[in-house]
């Protein structure tokens, strides 16, 4: 029923919201050079693509969203971002584990997917960072003012001499408390709500699309998409699977895994689709309308990479 589409979209968005809030709080900490934010420099250093790939392999779409928002604010390199996107598979690994495939085939498939994504994520990530090393796309964190402490101490001393110490210190304390609350909680909360609203609208759009395709049944709509993928031949399958992987919804990775488990697509199509798949990370790229041209290039490159890997893996499977 239609209310199930609404409920599913709402649940998916609510599940993502804590990740959005966390990442915006982290971004504020990073941009104001706090002690908590300083370790995040590792995300823009030499280990960035390796860390990005390892993080993306965790079967949760929240990490691709976090990577997209960090990249939007120039706190990670494009190589790290793409590494996370390549490694992301949303719920596909879980679906494959629960599938009726023989355990030997499950093991080989999962090992093949993990190894392929690990190697691709690292290689492509480092290659991109090497190519764009002159313009890494990361913003330097602001340096603290060396004399802030002395300046504040002098003012406090002057206030004490004039007999206004208690009043001035209380005013400054309240102002700092209000500013800190606004900066590290209220502002991230508003940003998270803004992106969550966008994600909810897109989830509803795709939910009702599947609902319409299935003639009033979302599950039937998903099965229709799966049937379409299964009907594609060798030359069309990687393109179709890569397109399905671009759908910014958990349903895309689930559909790819389920169709593979049923024998509808080969390993090449599955790998190509899951390389392209970055879940809700694509939504986060465009969520606030920043760096749109660069985001479009990234999406196009992910699609091209997914198609190429799909053909390559499919060709190897035919030879073997």
Q: What is the 3-state secondary structure (H, E, C) of 120-188?
A: HHHHHHHHHHHHCHHHCCCCCCCCCCCCHHHHHHHHHHHHHHCCCHHHHHHHHHHHHHHHHHHHHHHHH
- Rounded average pLDDT over 97-106: 88
Name the pLDDT band for 129 (thresholds 50, 70, 90): very high
Neighbours of 239 (CB within 10 A): 17
Mean pLDDT across the chain, nearest whole number? 77
In percent, the amount of the chain with pLDDT more than 70 equals 72
More confident residue, 60 or 238: 238
- Rounded average pLDDT over 212-226: 64
Which residues lie closer than 8 Å to 222 by C-beta, 6 or more apart? 210, 214, 251, 254, 255
Q: Which of 187, 255, 246, 243 is nearest to 219 (CA)?
A: 255
Tokens representing 91? 């719920």
Query: What's the pLDDT score for residue 213?
Result: 67
Q: Report how far apart, in Å, the C-alpha atoms of 95 and of each of 90, 132, 149, 188, 288 are.
A: 10, 37, 56, 33, 32
Q: Is the pLDDT of residue 134 over 60?
A: no
Q: Which of 316, 301, 227, 207 is nearest to 271 (CA)?
A: 316
Q: What pLDDT, in 10s, does the model give residues 4-53?
A: 778 888 887 787 788 778 877 877 776 665 454 454 555 667 888 999 99
Q: CA-to-CA distance for 229 and 268, rounded, in angstroms?
A: 13
Query: What's the pLDDT score for residue 37?
Result: 47
Q: Report how far apart, in Å, the C-alpha atoms of 295 and of each of 53, 72, 245, 253, 282 are.
A: 19, 9, 16, 21, 8
Report the range out of 153-167, 179-193, 202-216 with the highest average pLDDT.
179-193
Query: What's the pLDDT score for residue 283?
Result: 84
Name the pLDDT band for 148 (thresholds 50, 70, 90): very low
DSSP character string of 193-244? HHHHHHHHHHHHHHHHHHHHHTTS-HHHHHHHHHHHHHT--TTTHHHHHHHH
Q: Is the pLDDT of residue 149 over 80?
A: no
- Rounded average pLDDT over 169-177: 47
Q: Which of 265, 254, 273 is nearest to 317 (CA)?
A: 265
Query: What's the pLDDT score for residue 167?
Result: 45
pTM of the model: 0.70
Name the pLDDT band for 227 (thresholds 50, 70, 90): low
Query: What's the pLDDT score for residue 171?
Result: 46
Q: Is the pLDDT of residue 88 over 70?
A: yes
More confident residue, 219 or 3: 3
Q: What pLDDT, in 10s, does the model give residues 229-249?
A: 656 566 788 898 999 899 887
Q: CA-to-CA distance for 240 and 8, rounded, in angstroms?
A: 25
Are the beta carbons of 221 and 251 closer than 8 angstroms?
no
Q: How many CA atoms lie within 13 A of 188 on its CB side?
A: 21
Q: What pLDDT, in 10s, does the model give residues 245-289?
A: 998 877 788 888 888 887 778 899 999 999 999 988 898 888 767
Q: Which of 281, 286, 279 is nearest to 198 (CA)?
A: 286
Q: CA-to-CA distance for 229 and 209, rounded, in angstroms?
A: 17
Taking only Cα atoms into account, the Rg of the chain, rounded to an integer number of angstroms, comes to 24
């Amino acid at each position: 029923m239609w209310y199930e589409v609404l409920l599913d979209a709402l649940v998916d968005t609510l599940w993502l919201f804590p990740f959005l809030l966390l990442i915006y709080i982290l971004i504020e900490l990073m941009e104001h050079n706090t002690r908590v934010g300083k370790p995040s420099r590792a995300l823009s250093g030499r280990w960035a693509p390796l860390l990005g790939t390892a993080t993306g392999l965790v079967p949760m779409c929240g990490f691709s969203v976090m990577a997209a928002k960090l990249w939007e604010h120039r706190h990670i390199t494009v190589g790290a971002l793409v590494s996370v996107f390549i490694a992301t598979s949303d719920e596909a690994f879980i679906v494959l584990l629960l599938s009726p495939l023989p355990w030997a085939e499950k093991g080989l498939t999962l090992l093949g997917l993990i190894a392929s994504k690990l190697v691709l994520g690292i290689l492509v990530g480092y290659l991109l960072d090497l190519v764009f090393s002159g313009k890494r796309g990361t913003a330097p964190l602001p340096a603290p003012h060396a004399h802030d402490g002395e300046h504040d101490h002098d003012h406090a001393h002057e206030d004490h001499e004039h007999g206004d110490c208690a009043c001035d210190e209380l005013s400054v304390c309240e102002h700092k408390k209000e500013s800190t609350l606004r900066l590290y909680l209220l502002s991230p909360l508003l940003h998270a709500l803004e992106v969550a609203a966008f994600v909810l609208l897109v989830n509803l759009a795709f939910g009702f699309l599947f609902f319409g395709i299935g003639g009033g049944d979302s599950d039937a709509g998903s099965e229709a998409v799966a049937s379409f993928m299964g009907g594609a031949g060798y030359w069309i399958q990687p393109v179709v699977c890569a397109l399905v992987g671009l759908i910014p919804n958990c349903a895309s990775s689930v559909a790819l895994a389920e169709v593979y488990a049923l024998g509808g697509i080969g390993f090449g199509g599955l790998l190509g689709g899951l390389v392209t798949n970055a879940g809700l990370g694509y939504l986060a790229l465009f969520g606030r309308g920043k760096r749109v041209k660069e985001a479009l290039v990234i999406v196009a490159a992910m699609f091209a990479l997914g198609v190429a890997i799909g053909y390559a893996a499919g060709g190897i499977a035919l030879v073997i």
